[in-house]
Structure 1
């Protein structure tokens, strides 16, 4: 039987040194690895960013606060380094929401004994958190001039969901499978 993201001793809402350390490590990893991305042609700055898979992974494994922090702070740092500044703050909030939603989704799922089933559920849960969290970027309709619902949906939301969805469906289960033996050994 595999260990799950949270044992009874770890609440998904808890703020502790563990939350702070893993949040800082996750945000730093996401910020550095997130620089390795490429733009999808024909979109408004939507990038395929494999490091994005760290956001729902950290949410699943370390809780709501950590997941939100990794997504928000990691994306802000990426935007600052890339020269966007805080212009697209709403995308950073959406990334944070994805980490938080992943924590909530995986907290609600009961323990799963089979490794293959657990990895499939991990992929589906990460994709659901990504789809729901990215809905926050509808605020582009108010933040940017000239963005209507059709533009938001077809130019911003769907390309971002496709790019990030591919990353999370492949990489979150892989990260989780790699983390599982390490977590058992470290007693996390």
Structure 2
């Protein structure tokens, strides 16, 4: 097994390149996230913070297909979910935050050297995905200005609960998705 295929995290093209691969995987990821993201529920006592297991797709697509695809999956997928659920583009900043999670994941994993050990690769995937989630979701601090909430409300009712819920999803499910994808990427040489 080569180090290149074992890690499958080295950038194959420039970081911000838009290719047919980026467009196709971004669109497929956004559609998957939009459909599977409908299976979510609101955490009681929060400001409409939902647990969405499908969120694990966002850092996964960022890791495997790059910054642009990751951003597209998070941004477009979340916007479609909001449109389908009837909130329109009211929470556009949350869609941007979801997109930033995918972009940060693409950026983080572009600079992590290939990892040959399966267990270590999955742990690094979990930690990198959690870091990308924590960084990307910080964008929802804009709720302070857009929704007129206090910083304390932002931390305790918005950011904290969504980071916890999505953090659990990405720590458990993103490595699982990556473990499933790894054999497929070895077969295709990508």
In the other structure, the counterpart of 1:93 is: 96
* 1:49-60 matched pairs, under 5 angstroms: 49-60=52-63
* 1:132-147 matched pairs, under 5 angstroms: 132-145=135-148, 147=149
CA RMSD of aligned residues (A): 0.9
Q: Deviations over 1:3-49 (max 9, x none)?
A: 41335x42332110000000000000000000000110000110000
Q: What is the aligned counterpart of 1:22 among 18, 21, 25?
A: 25
**2:9 touches 2:114 (CA, 8 Å); kept in 1?**
no
2:10 matches 1:6: yes
How many residue pairs get aligned? The number is 186
**1:98 touches 1:129 (CA, 8 Å); kept in 2?**
yes
Structure 2 residue ranges without an equivalent (≥5): none
Structure 1 residue ranges without an equivalent (≥5): none
2:155 matches 1:159: no
Distance in 2, matches of 1:36 and 1:5, equals: 29
2:68 matches 1:65: yes
The structure 1 segments of at least 4 consecutive aligned residues displaced by more than 4 Å after TM superposition are none
Aligned-residue offset at 1:108 = 1.2
Aligned-residue offset at 1:113 = 1.1
In the other structure, the counterpart of 2:106 is: 103
Q: Deviations over 1:117-140 (max 9, x none)?
A: 010000000000000111000000
State the SS of the aligned residue for 1:112.
coil
Q: TM-score, normalised by structure 1?
A: 0.96
Q: TM-score, normalised by structure 2?
A: 0.95
In the other structure, the counterpart of 1:34 is: 37
**2:10 touches 2:113 (CA, 8 Å); kept in 1?**
no
